[in-house]
Structure 1
Amino acid sequence: MPTPLPPPPDQPHQPQAHQPHQARLIAESFGTDAERYDRARLRYPDALVSRITESVPGPPEPDILDVGCGTGIAARQFLAAGGRVLGVEPDARMAELARRLGVDVDVARFEEWDPAGREFDAVVAGTAWHWIDPVAGAAKAARVLRPGGRLAPFWHVFQLPPRLAQAVADLCERVLPDAPFDFRSALTRPALATSQTLFDKAADGIRKAGGFGEPEQWRYDWEHTYTRDEFDQMPTQGAFTRVPPDRLAQVLEGVGAAVDAMGGTFTMPYTTVAVTATRNGASGTGP
């Protein structure tokens, strides 16, 4: 998300002992408003999608597994790029919308999902891998990938303009004083540097699982200009999916007023980062 909103907005601010993949109430809360999620969340760079599909040794239509596929945002991009895509998603509400939008989905947590003998040329995860145990997830990916296949979780990282970030932090601290998130730190700290911890954790999980070459990072920098109405993604982020409707309405009204104070639009810098490794010929370990 240079980070998703609150730390990334999908990654809860947790003590070190409580990792994001253990926060199941948040991880499986995004279907609260699946249609808003699909509408508000931005798509991924076409260059990244193409690079993944072109880097695998599979047929002209590579088999791609999308882990934590949500409403199928990334899955539809891989379908459009010529892949055959199966999603795995723990939230049945998200999976149902993805199916209506043309994506085949199995409803399960990835660590517990039964591949039933199916194999893939790429395993991807769009802004979802931090909800997966990094070692067990990589080991499961090694089991289902063909030799030479690619594991590629990726994330959007973003940085609100400083003036807007301060206004939103003030607002959240006032309206949500008991929330288990450090909004000010999450919104104002250097997002890309903070997210590097998340990327390193994914890479370490790949190394510990075995079965892969050395992980590397692919980076894509871009930006998006929002109007007040278009900046509708905060209710889709983990810090807000369980906020009572009356208080969420207060937050959204305040954010809208802050955007109006900036002239009604603002430009957000984004960086999309993939942590990726190639499946070698050895068997991975894991469940």
Structure 2
Amino acid sequence: MPTLPREQPGQSGTESHEARQMAESFGVDPQRYDQARPGYPDALMERIVAGSPGPEVLDVGTGTGIAARQLQAAGCTVLGVEPDARMAELARARGLPVEVATFEAWQPAGRTFDAVTAAQAWHWVDPVAGAVKAAQVLRPGGRLAIFGHVYEPPAEVAEPFATAFRRAVPESPFNNRPTESPLAMYQAGYAKFADAIRETELFGEPEQWRFDWELAYTRDQWLALLPTTGGLTRLPRDTTAEILDAVGAAIDSMGGGFTMGYTTLATSALRSGTSASG
């Protein structure tokens, strides 16, 4: 079934130039991103908090702070690391301390944490180098938690989107993506994250978590979210408008809204009890 261009996971090792362009494109409109992107299941946040030895969290690729604010609300003290200064500025305005850097280049300056989290962001980090660095800043027994959403709109929304996208951007590489089930593809990506964690030999056995939930969208809500997704963030405004008009008409024909089924996947592991060498 046609669906949205994939944003994550499963980028290999060092990111390609094309992928890095996409990574840097999400800050084009951080306000829209922050308002339109969904949060994370409370059960996931509760599991991270309950399964960590303390409340101090480092949130990697924090973006505008969507997950970080949920962790703050759950009683955590959170520091964000974010490579895009535009996203970081909005996160700071919402009360989150953020340091601007890629995780690989970020300097911990001796600081350690009870948990390292990454929401919709770990695929932009070298998976092995990132896991090693996470181990270096985690206290013994600290938790690494990598998580993100899988979603596929109903065919009545996805197919008009795919048709309009192919017409408006025929040269896009997103038009040639495999038709594999999004859930199966993302589960394979999270299994690769687990393999990279094992490779470090600095963590206990990784766990795979899954949370299924639903979210109702109005026409306006869905059209606000679409421009924040990877295939549209770098398109000219008139091209985006053409695609949104087609999707909006499709949602109008459905009565003005639809319900999206979400699955949130997580790979999580506990830091082994000895200190990491640096």
TM norm structure 2: 0.93
Aligned to 1:37: 33
Q: Secondary structure at the match of 1:117?
A: coil
Aligned to 1:93: 86
Superposed CA RMSD in Å reads: 2.2
In structure 1, C-alpha distance between the alignment counterparts of 2:186 and 2:232, rounded to whole Å = 20
Q: Kindly indicate whether the alpha-carbon contact (under 8 Å) linking 1:153 and 1:276 is maintained by their aligned counterparts in 2.
A: yes
Q: Deviations over 1:254-283 (max 9, x none)?
A: 111111122111111001111000001234
Shift of 1:200: 1.4
Letter in 1 for 2:43: A
Aligned to 1:11: 8
Q: Which of 183, 187, 210 matches 1:219?
A: 210
Identity of aligned residues (%): 58
In structure 2, C-alpha distance between the alignment counterparts of 1:11 and 1:209, rounded to whole Å = 22
- Report matched runs for 1:259-274 at 5 Å: 259-274=251-266
Aligned to 1:26: 22
In structure 2, C-alpha distance between the alignment counterparts of 1:199 and 1:258, rounded to whole Å = 33
Letter in 2 for 1:234: L
Q: Kindly indicate whether the alpha-carbon contact (under 8 Å) linking 2:67 and 2:119 is maintained by their aligned counterparts in 1.
A: yes
Q: Kindly indicate whether the alpha-carbon contact (under 8 Å) linking 2:146 and 2:267 is maintained by their aligned counterparts in 1.
A: yes
Q: Which stretches of structure 1, 4 residues or more, deviate above 6 A after TM superposition?
A: none
TM norm structure 1: 0.90
1:191 partnered with 2:182: yes
In structure 2, C-alpha distance between the alignment counterparts of 1:237 and 1:189, rounded to whole Å = 19
In structure 2, C-alpha distance between the alignment counterparts of 1:246 and 1:282, rounded to whole Å = 55
Q: Deviations over 1:62-94 (max 9, x none)?
A: 100100000000000000000000000000000
Q: Residues 95, 123 of structure 1: CA spacing in aligned structure 2 closer, same or farther, 3 A cutoff?
A: same
Q: Kindly indicate whether the alpha-carbon contact (under 8 Å) linking 1:206 and 1:212 is maintained by their aligned counterparts in 2.
A: yes
- Report matched runs for 1:1-287 at 5 Å: 5-7=4-6, 10-11=7-8, 19=15, 23-58=19-54, 62-182=55-175, 185=177, 189-231=180-222, 232-284=224-276
In structure 2, C-alpha distance between the alignment counterparts of 1:178 and 1:105, rounded to whole Å = 37
Q: Secondary structure at the match of 1:155?
A: strand
Shift of 1:18: 7.6
In structure 2, C-alpha distance between the alignment counterparts of 1:18 and 1:88, rounded to whole Å = 19
Shift of 1:20: 6.4
Q: Residues 244, 285 of structure 1: CA spacing in aligned structure 2 closer, same or farther, 3 A cutoff?
A: farther
